[in-house]
Amino acid sequence: MPRMTSFDKSAFPLALAFAAIVAGAPMAAGAQTADPAMPMDHTMPMDHAMPMDHAMPMDHAMPMDHAMPMDHSAHDMAGMDAMHGMKGMLGPYSMMRDASGTAWQADSAPMQAIMGHTGDWSTMIHGMVTLIYDKQGGPRGADKTFSTSMLMGMAQRPLGGGTLTLRGMGSLDPLMGRSGYPLLLATGETADGRTPLIDRQHPHDALMELSATYSHPLTDGLSGFVYAGMPGEPALGPVTFMHRFSGIANPEAPIAHHWLDSTHVTFGVVTAGLTTRRVKLEGSVFTGREPDQKRWNFDKPRFDSWSARVTFNPTDNLSLQVSHGYLKSPEQLTPDDNEHRTTASATWNRALGPGRTWQTTFAWGRNRHSGGDHHAAQDEAPSDAFLLESALQWRRWTAFGRAENVDKDELFLEPDPLAGQRFNVSKLTLGGYHSVPLGPLAFDLGGLVSGYALPHAAEARYGGHPTSFMLFTRLRIVGR
């Protein structure tokens, strides 16, 4: 692949549009200000058994995304008391546990948002926009300056003895172009409907989630829930990388994405489940086909696939999950191929004190194909992916790292003699950033560097041992 340099002209207006949305957000009622470098100190006990008084407006009646830290040390005690009485979106547990889709992570994980209320509704908004200079090394690498973004809004209210939650999430990622951005060893999806993306990461769709969830207590300590999204996220895999603190610090997608959490934007999802204070059992029916290269529209819902997931949070600092799913025809370019995916993960989070948080995630995913070209090869070995990532935030400095090992058989196309061969590849990324508070926003400035371990047969194509790096600035919501 020839080296090329490109620039995403959307990068400049994105930051301005993002700031304008935040400035105009109707969240002033009860909103509070947070230092972007200061996560909530969870060393204080939280009484999650306290019943929620729906007669009183509560600013924090929302499930939160835990991707970025919020400092509650500056909040007054009335605000903290309100937090103590909150319950989760799906049942009788702390709202701090809710993350992407219906996934859980550790209760002690940090969060950020602008929160408020209007009438019976409690509201929340959070998001970020990132400007990135990307230089992927070696003869298959490329350069690009581009932007990624995400804006999410939630609204929640009591209804019929239960809880109704509405959530919407969008992105301007399609502005970077259908071919996405350079990322060595990344595979999956297509830019033109004819050839697969290789050594590039596809952009997210403009509409990433539009969902409704209703939960209702069944007995003391047991609740049932139904979640529907178009698009949404089925009960398969860990918390999506861009919604967990250990992953979102790193602005690039994992090369293990299509073994772990690639279903996080699925056009057509219905999930039902049961929750207790520590355990969640759930199952989904959803569309197996991944989004196509037309990133601004709705894809056709098919509801031809299924998944099941068990999640266990034994303590406030640990979340464990195991899941399995059947994906019918996930790839547009190989429509006769189906996939069985199994995942398991553990996320550990520790609040080390004011302004200090450490989170680590370990995840494993296995894909086994059937049908199509795989029909005659019933004994074909499944492919595995392992991910270990961690982020340590120390006041206004954050350091992060990610190590991955993945079996890849899509790195080379015909007529290359390596086409179809499976290679076990590894990647190590280390980076960090510094945060500067800007009222309800925070400005991050950081960078990362990546190295790779490749089999001998693939080294020549990738130039031996290439090195890649990214420089980035990020504007994110932290609260008022």
pLDDT at 318 over 80: yes
pLDDT at 350 over 60: yes
pLDDT at 77 over 50: no
Model confidence pLDDT, tens digit, residues 413-428: 999 999 999 999 999 9
Query: Buried (b) or exposed (e) across 435-460, using 16+ Cβ within 10 A?
Result: bebeebbbbbebebebebebeeebee
Lowest-confidence region among 90-99, 135-144, 182-191, 217-226: 90-99
Provide the pLDDT for residue 226: 98
pLDDT at 70 over 50: no
Model confidence pLDDT, tens digit, residues 131-176: 999 999 999 999 999 999 999 999 999 999 999 999 999 999 999 9
Residue 391: which residues within 8 A CB-CB, separation 6 or more? 245, 246, 247, 249, 250, 357, 358, 359, 398, 399, 400, 401
Please state the rounded mean pLDDT for residues 325-337: 94
Provide the pLDDT for residue 372: 67
pTM for the structure as a whole: 0.84
Model confidence pLDDT, tens digit, residues 469-478: 999 999 999 8
Q: What is the DSSP string of 215-263?
A: EEEEETTEEEEEEEETTB--S-SSS-GGGSHHHHTS-SPPTTHHHHTGG
Using DSSP's 3-state secondary structure scheme, residue 315 falls into: strand
Model confidence pLDDT, tens digit, residues 227-279: 999 999 999 999 999 999 999 999 999 999 999 999 999 999 999 999 999 99
Lowest-confidence region among 44-48, 318-322, 438-442: 44-48
| Distance in angstroms (rounded) separating the CA atoms of residues 323 and 325 | 7
